[in-house]
Amino acid sequence: QVQLVESGGGLVQTGGSLRLSCTASGDTFSRYAMGWFRQAPGKEREFVSSITWTGSTTRYADSVTGRFTISRDNAKNTVYLQMNSLKPDDTAVYYCAADRTLGWVARTGKDGYDYWGQGTQVTVSS
C-alpha cells in the first residue's frame, strides 16, 4: 500500500504557473503508474495527466495539452505536474493517484487507480 501527499497548490492569476508535487511512501514507488485528476465544484473528477512507472509514456487531457507537463523522479518518490498558462477553468482540487496493477500503462480512467491523495486546491483568478 502506498500513501500519497500532494503539495504546491495555491492562488495564481490567469496566465501564471504552478508546480504540483505528489510524494509517495509505504511501497516501491517505481512499481506504480501515476496520474493527476482534478475536481471542480459540482463537477465529476476528471483526468488531467498520467505517466508510466519509468516515465517513458505520458498522456494528457485535451484541455491541458501543451500547457501542463507531468514528470516523475523515482529516486525522490515524487511525481510532478508543471502547470503553465493557467486559466480560470483550471480551478479545482487536484488529486494524484497511483495504479499498482498496470505500471507500464498511463491510464486515463479514474477507476484504474488504487490509491489517492487528499488533494490540493488550485485557484486561478481572472
| pLDDT averaged over 10-residue windows placed end to end, the chain, 126 residues | 96 98 93 97 97 96 98 97 98 97 91 96 97
Asked if residue 33 lies in contact with residue 52, where contact means CB atoms within 8 angstroms, the answer is yes
- CA distances in angstroms from 7 to 14, 18, 93, 118, listed in the order given: 20, 10, 11, 10
pLDDT of residue 25: 93
**Strand, helix or coil for residue 23:** strand
pLDDT of residue 9: 97
pLDDT of residue 38: 98
Distance separating alpha carbons of residues 112 and 98, to the nearest angstrom: 9
pLDDT of residue 27: 87
Distance separating alpha carbons of residues 6 and 19, to the nearest angstrom: 11
